[in-house]
Amino acid sequence: MTAKIKQLTVGQKVEIQISGLNVPARFQTDFIGAVMGRWFIVNMPDSRRYGELREHLYEGVPIIVRFVLENESGEICAFRSDIDFVVAHPTKMLFLDWPKQVESRVIRQGRRFDAYLPCTIERLAEDNTVASSVEAIILDVSETGCKLRYSLDEPVDEEQENPSEWETGQRANLIVNQKSGNTIKLGSIVRQVKTSSDEVTLGVQFNSHQKEAINGLFSGSLVDIDALSRAQS
């Protein structure tokens, strides 16, 4: 089934993964359009950010495409394809072979997906003011919460009591700035705190009644296509 592609809008961000390389090779680019049954067309990635990856984009290269449909339920979609050809005019574009099928999964409560999303987490005081904030990376995300990690400024003794100052049950704001320019802010509660000598990992639960913001968060998430395949089997 490839009908999901018809729900994409021109300019929507999609993620491309180059298969077969020894190192992770993923980039985000814009969906330009489709010729049904023949091609899925995207922009060549920005040379300033993905200059090295562009060397691997040529005819016959196998790739994986991922995108999020922000409909009522929210769906993460993925498919395998190959680069059919690359054009340089009027702008550089990749024409990808039409997929045989598109796998999709509704974003259900409790199902977690791998992610790599830069964010800011604010620790709130009792009067709801911001006590401190730190830059972090969201590692995985679900409809109800996420796991994130950040590095400590200086290594600490692992036996030191609570070097991060985070505590279970503490209230926090999670802020994600998306490439589209939108800012997503989610009220959260810290449910798990793990510290090591140089980093802190937090498990946070999103406050209820934030469905629109949570669906927006998924628009920047990454999902493992192999996990999708296993879930469908």
Kindly report the CATH number assigned to the domain that includes residue 177: 2.40.10.220
Say if residue 71 is in the same domain as residue 16.
yes
Query: Phi and psi at residue 107, in whole multiples of 5°?
Result: -75, 95
**Contact (Cβ atoms closer than 8 angstroms) between residue 70 and residue 216:** yes
Residue 225 has a pLDDT of 40
- 179 burial level (CB within 10 Å; 0-12, 13-18, 19+): exposed
pLDDT band at 134 (very low <50, low <70, confident <90, very high): very high
pLDDT tens-digit map of 38-57:
999 999 988 877 777 888 88
Residue 197 has a pLDDT of 78
Parent domain of 210: 113-218
pLDDT, greater one: 221 or 126: 126
pLDDT band at 2 (very low <50, low <70, confident <90, very high): confident
Q: Does 44 map to a domain?
A: yes
pLDDT tens-digit map of 27-41:
888 899 999 999 999
pLDDT tens-digit map of 193-219:
888 878 899 989 998 888 778 777 766
Of 158, 81, 150, 92, residue with least CA distance to 122: 150
Q: Does 223 map to a domain?
A: no
Q: Which residues contact 229 (CB under 8 A, 6 or more apart)?
A: 103
Residue 224 has a pLDDT of 39
Rounded to whole angstroms, how far apart are CA atoms 160 and 148? Answer: 21
22-26, 66-70, 94-98: the lowest-pLDDT one: 22-26
Res. 103: pLDDT tops 70? yes
pLDDT tens-digit map of 53-95:
888 888 999 999 988 876 555 678 899 999 999 998 888 999 9
Residue ending a domain, among 67, 88, 106, is: 106
Rounded to whole angstroms, how far apart are CA atoms 139 and 190? Answer: 15
Residue 73 has a pLDDT of 56
Of 143, 136, 95, residue with least CA distance to 117: 136
Say if residue 95 is in the same domain as residue 127.
no
Residue ending a domain, among 62, 81, 106, is: 106
Give the torsion sign (CA, 48, 49, 53, 58). Answer: negative
Count how many domains the chain has: 2
Q: Does 147 map to a domain?
A: yes
Residue 142 has a pLDDT of 81
Say if residue 162 is in the same domain as residue 99.
no
Res. 115: pLDDT tops 90? no
Say if residue 99 is in the same domain as residue 139.
no
Task: Give Cα 154 to chain centroid, integer Å.
Answer: 28
Say if residue 151 is in the same domain as residue 186.
yes
